[in-house]
Amino acid sequence: MTRLKNTSIAGIMLIGLGAIAFFTNPQEPGYQKYANKTLKSKLKEKVCTQVTEELGAWLEKQCHTIVDTSSPYLAQVVSQQTTRKNFLLFSIYQADIPLPTPLPDYHIETNGILGNYYTNQAKKL
Domain borders along the chain are: 2-124
Contacts of residue 6, defined as CB under 8 A and 6 or more positions apart, other chains included, come to: none
Residue 117, beta-bridge partner list = 112
Across the range 100-115, mean pLDDT stands at 83
- Decide: pTM greater than 0.85: no
* Mean of all residue pLDDT scores within the chain: 83
| Contact assessment for residue 35 and residue 95, using Cβ atoms and an 8 Å cutoff | yes
Per-residue pLDDT band at 57 (split at 50, 70, 90): low
Across the range 4-26, mean pLDDT stands at 86
Alpha helices in 43-107 (DSSP H): 48-55, 58-69, 71-81
- Min mean pLDDT across 26-30, 52-56, 113-117 is at 52-56
